[in-house]
Structure 1
Amino acid sequence: MAPQKLYAGAKLRETRTRLALTQKDFAARLGVSLPYLNQMENNNRPLSTTVVLALAREFGMDVTELSAGDSERLVSDLREAMADPVFGTTPPGLPDLRLVSANAPALARAFLDLHRAYRQSHERLASLDEALGHADTDSRPSAWEEVRDFFHYCDNYIDPVDRAAELFAEKFAVQAGAGAGPVMGGDALPPALEALAARGVTVQYADTPVLRSYDAGARLLVISSKIAPGTQRFQILHQLALIAQNDLLEATLDLARFQSDAARDIAKIGLANYFAGALMMPYRRFQAAAQEVRHDLERLADLFGASVEQVAHRLSTLQRPGAKGVPFFFVRVDQAGTITKRHSATRLQFARYGGGCPLWNVHQAFETPGRVLRQLAETPDGARYICLALAVSKPGGSYRAPVRRYAIGLGCEIAHAGALVYADDLEISRPQAFEPIGISCRICERRGCHQRSVPPLERRLRIDPDRRGVLPYEVEG
């Protein structure tokens, strides 16, 4: 597969503007002509190796920031939006969408906001009960969607919060935990309890279905004794973030400029969760441990006193500039196939609405609880991945309490397979070992998929009433 050309005109212009350099001075520092720089900034030419090396040498740029990650997210989201039947049967082609995403990302996001507002209005009117019961026709994005997109376009890495958690761990000299192995994790609980006690907060455990409850007036934090020790630890660290890091969280929220108080409140919970996870698994220590055990999820969970889901999610956040880890995608789905969490630092993106590709192994994880499923997969763009999937259960702590069940998926491009213990005996050099998967049926171009639920928007259909295959139509090339 030929290497993908790197078009990063918007990033190049952004770098030059930040440095307050003219095109002439910038071109001279990069060692290229002024017309050549102009062509690169307008994405008429890809960045050459010489330019990439000059950016690193002259300006200390982390060249991984030039990857098409953010642009690919926009392309994926635009393709899904354009698959809406409201746009007819001749949507813009993939080259056009890539051009818009690379040259006018702000316009692309504005279009996505507009389409989301249309969807919400359409769905509201489609339900008569809802239409009669709600006089408010506010078409702003839902608070949940706004927060989801905030983390999505931040690459799921919040640098100030991540570094604050790591600084806390270093300041209190977190001691090694009880796990054994070449790399030891740290137990953040004792210093967290010490920090809470210094602020007059008492921590108690009680037989209650409520995971965490904090009375600010009495300075009393009650943690459920029914939940797993790792979850108890996480909830205590979450409350520590809300109390000890409130100014940092509020400053981060101010920069995000959410459109509603509800979105801001949800995002604050997300940031506190982020701090808790980063404190349980401090960036550099966790990254070193992940490399040492070759991203073995169970080993990392044991070393850091975390759940496998927490470990998988943390792996997807290791995107610190200059110290990036393996670029993973992470997703969580419920038993109906609905995506409840999603993030991708890879080219693979997920459907914004509804479920994902049924051929993806994350949907099979419910059939084999307790096992890590492995899959070699190839997307329609030719990219190949190693995908891991595992079913997780969250018991309620008593016989009649409901049990929540999810499946989590984690994976990376096959180029990083050597860093994963899970790839050791897979035939990654054999093309036939890779299963075809997609994002969603409407934008998947595969013609012979036996699991297709709806026709692809960008292909013509041939319907023969005297012939029936697996599908009631054939997709033309």
Structure 2
Amino acid sequence: MAVRKLYAGAKLRELRTRLGLTQKDFAAKLGVSLPYLNQMENNNRPVSTTVVLGLAQEFGFDVTELSTGDAERLVSDMREALADPVFTDTAPPLADLRLAASNAPALARAFLDLHRSYRQTHERLASLDEALGRDGADTAPSPWEEVRDFFHYCDNYIDAVDRAAERFAAQAGADLAHHTEDRLRARGITIRHEAGTGLRHYDPGSRTLTLSPRAAPETQRFQLLHQFALLDQAQLLGATLDLARFQSDTARSIAQIGMANYFAGAVLMPYTRFAEAAAETRHDLERLSIQFGASIEQVAHRLSTLQRPGAKGVPFFFTRVDQAGTITKRHSATRLQFARFGGACPLWNVHRAFETPGQFLRQLAETPDGARYVILARDVSKSGGGWNAPMRRYAISLGCEVKHAGALVYADGLDLESAESFQPIGISCRICERTGCHQRSVPPLERKLRIDPNHRDILPYEIER
């Protein structure tokens, strides 16, 4: 088997800049010549073994980060953006997109921001949004999308927040809830458990925190820790948000909630202890849920965040969809990326999870790039806590590449060797390369169509190869 050459010029430049070193000093510490380093930083040469060892020994750099990160995500996002009809006749080849993602990631992100602004403006026109009647209509990325992309491009792992949560969990010991309540009371906070105020309500004036007793115990603990993060960890969260440089106060506020949620989840499932338990149980979500007093969704989401340098877990993707197929949460530490616009591939087992409440569904799937995955899906129902309260229903999906199947209890008994066992799935119909998919909703924009009025197969057109 041929050894894949590693081109990571952008990562090398980023590390050198972060260390404040010149190319000359960086080359000397890595034991290579200045011209050779320059060629590697510009992706004219692959990263050598000498450099890989030097990065690990001299700087303690997690060399696995050289082969992961933004490049695959940027390629996937650019392909989806370029599938927009406005680019139908000008879409560049995949090789060019990979070069842009590797050599000019900042330019690639600027292109994605530009396309997002175009799309939002186009949607306002199509729907006759009343905002067009106002001067200076905002075409910046929506705050929600900006925050989602922030977590997406930092691998859904926030090191400073994660480690602070782990320290707090160690201090709390076995009685986490009481320890948290004591810390809040020490700050002058009154804690009540009363219905009728939503899951959680904090009144800054009276310094009163009210939690709903109707919520599940794990939800109450999570909401308690969320409020603790906002009050006791405000300085840490603020410093992290400052580094993100969000474009609006709204985006920053949404991210603050996301950071508090992250802290709460990391306290309930401290990184080191949770990672060890995940490996020991072979990622059995139900056993982990019982052991850590967390919901199935919280456990699945936490598994997707185990990306601490030097102590990474199995790289999972995690997503949540609603009953309309819209992706409401998404993250991938794998090569699999998700559609930024529209729903997920209809062949994905996550859509069938609504039909089998309370059961795990397993799927072996293969994406158009040849990558194979073990995928787990399950519905998640969230009661409103009363007879007339609305029931919220979602489905979650967790998966990893098949090479990690041995670490996954859900892969037991599956035929991992047979190609017929793997169902072909894609990302979005507009950029999917498959020509014979019976669930295709729209034609692929990168292929020409052949229309024959005298012949009809599954699709009303044929896709030229």
TM-score, with normalisation over the residues of structure 2? 0.96
Matched residue, 2:290: 302
2:362 is aligned with 1:374: yes
Amino acid at match of 2:285: L
Matched residue, 1:169: 169
Shift of 1:44: 2.3
Listed one character per residue, the Cα deviations across residues 148-175 of structure 1 (whole Å, up to 9, x for unaligned) are: 1111111111111111111111223x12
Show the 5 A alignment for 1:64-79.
Answer: 64-79=64-79
Taking a change above 3 Å as real, the CA distance of residues 243 and 20 of structure 1, as seen in their structure-2 partners, is: closer
Matched residue, 1:128: 128
Greater alpha carbon shift after TM alignment, 423-432 vs 16-25: 16-25
SS in 2 for 1:332: strand
Matched residue, 1:345: 333
The answer as to whether partners of 1:319 and 1:327 remain within 8 angstroms in 2 is: yes
Taking a change above 3 Å as real, the CA distance of residues 93 and 362 of structure 1, as seen in their structure-2 partners, is: same
SS in 1 for 2:430: helix
SS in 1 for 2:329: strand
Q: 2:264 aligns with which of 255, 268, 276?
A: 276
Q: Among the aligned pairs, what percent are the same residue?
A: 74
The answer as to whether partners of 1:209 and 1:226 remain within 8 angstroms in 2 is: no
The answer as to whether partners of 1:162 and 1:275 remain within 8 angstroms in 2 is: yes
Shift of 1:430: 1.8
2:460 is aligned with 1:465: no
Shift of 1:413: 0.9
Which consecutive residues of structure 1, in runs of 5 or more, have no partner in the other structure?
176-186
Shift of 1:217: 2.1
SS in 1 for 2:97: helix
The answer as to whether partners of 2:117 and 2:139 remain within 8 angstroms in 1 is: yes
Amino acid at match of 1:46: P
Greater alpha carbon shift after TM alignment, 269-278 vs 457-466: 457-466
Shift of 1:35: 3.9
2:276 is aligned with 1:288: yes
Shift of 1:397: 1.0
C-alpha distance in 1, partners of 2:276/2:291? 12
2:191 is aligned with 1:203: yes
C-alpha distance in 2, partners of 1:209/1:397? 12
Taking a change above 3 Å as real, the CA distance of residues 461 and 392 of structure 1, as seen in their structure-2 partners, is: same
Greater alpha carbon shift after TM alignment, 413-422 vs 47-56: 47-56
The answer as to whether partners of 1:13 and 1:41 remain within 8 angstroms in 2 is: yes
Taking a change above 3 Å as real, the CA distance of residues 454 and 3 of structure 1, as seen in their structure-2 partners, is: farther
2:38 is aligned with 1:11: no
SS in 2 for 1:239: helix
The answer as to whether partners of 1:6 and 1:68 remain within 8 angstroms in 2 is: no
C-alpha distance in 2, partners of 1:249/1:33? 42
The answer as to whether partners of 1:377 and 1:387 remain within 8 angstroms in 2 is: yes
The answer as to whether partners of 2:365 and 2:374 remain within 8 angstroms in 1 is: yes
C-alpha distance in 1, partners of 2:31/2:432? 42
Amino acid at match of 1:417: A
C-alpha distance in 2, partners of 1:111/1:331? 25
Listed one character per residue, the Cα deviations across residues 99-137 of structure 1 (whole Å, up to 9, x for unaligned) are: 111111111111111111111111111112535665551
2:363 is aligned with 1:399: no
C-alpha distance in 2, partners of 1:11/1:370? 43
Show the 5 A alignment for 1:11-50.
Answer: 11-50=11-50
Taking a change above 3 Å as real, the CA distance of residues 28 and 230 of structure 1, as seen in their structure-2 partners, is: same
C-alpha distance in 2, partners of 1:3/1:68? 17
Amino acid at match of 1:255: L
Amino acid at match of 1:214: Y
Listed one character per residue, the Cα deviations across residues 242-266 of structure 1 (whole Å, up to 9, x for unaligned) are: 1100111111111111111111111
The answer as to whether partners of 1:6 and 1:47 remain within 8 angstroms in 2 is: yes
Show the 5 A alignment for 1:200-349.
Answer: 200-208=188-196, 210-349=198-337
Matched residue, 1:60: 60
C-alpha distance in 1, partners of 2:77/2:261? 26
Greater alpha carbon shift after TM alignment, 462-471 vs 401-410: 462-471
SS in 2 for 1:340: strand
C-alpha distance in 1, partners of 2:15/2:264? 33
Shift of 1:50: 4.1
C-alpha distance in 2, partners of 1:32/1:132? 57
The answer as to whether partners of 1:332 and 1:339 remain within 8 angstroms in 2 is: yes
Matched residue, 1:387: 375
Shift of 1:339: 0.4
Matched residue, 1:111: 111
Greater alpha carbon shift after TM alignment, 27-36 vs 140-149: 27-36
The answer as to whether partners of 1:125 and 1:131 remain within 8 angstroms in 2 is: no
Greater alpha carbon shift after TM alignment, 82-91 vs 107-116: 82-91
2:430 is aligned with 1:442: yes
C-alpha distance in 1, partners of 2:221/2:451? 58
Shift of 1:405: 0.3
Which consecutive residues of structure 2, in runs of 5 or more, have no partner in the other structure?
none
Aligned length: 465
Tell me the C-alpha RMSD between the 2 structures: 1.7
The answer as to whether partners of 1:385 and 1:411 remain within 8 angstroms in 2 is: yes
Listed one character per residue, the Cα deviations across residues 377-432 of structure 1 (whole Å, up to 9, x for unaligned) are: 11111111111101000011111111000000111111111111111111112222
Listed one character per residue, the Cα deviations across residues 48-73 of structure 1 (whole Å, up to 9, x for unaligned) are: 44432332223221011112331111
Amino acid at match of 1:416: H
SS in 1 for 2:374: strand
Greater alpha carbon shift after TM alignment, 213-222 vs 13-22: 13-22
C-alpha distance in 2, partners of 1:234/1:357? 32
Shift of 1:89: 2.8
C-alpha distance in 1, partners of 2:257/2:20? 37
The answer as to whether partners of 2:69 and 2:153 remain within 8 angstroms in 1 is: no
Amino acid at match of 1:332: R
Listed one character per residue, the Cα deviations across residues 173-212 of structure 1 (whole Å, up to 9, x for unaligned) are: x12xxxxxxxxxxx52121111112112121111225110
The answer as to whether partners of 2:350 and 2:396 remain within 8 angstroms in 1 is: yes
Taking a change above 3 Å as real, the CA distance of residues 332 and 2 of structure 1, as seen in their structure-2 partners, is: farther
Taking a change above 3 Å as real, the CA distance of residues 99 and 129 of structure 1, as seen in their structure-2 partners, is: closer
SS in 2 for 1:349: coil
C-alpha distance in 2, partners of 1:188/1:18? 37
C-alpha distance in 2, partners of 1:243/1:65? 34
Show the 5 A alignment for 1:415-426.
Answer: 415-426=403-414
Amino acid at match of 1:91: A
Matched residue, 2:142: 142
Shift of 1:36: 3.5
SS in 1 for 2:247: coil
The answer as to whether partners of 2:197 and 2:210 remain within 8 angstroms in 1 is: no
TM-score, with normalisation over the residues of structure 1? 0.94
Amino acid at match of 1:302: I
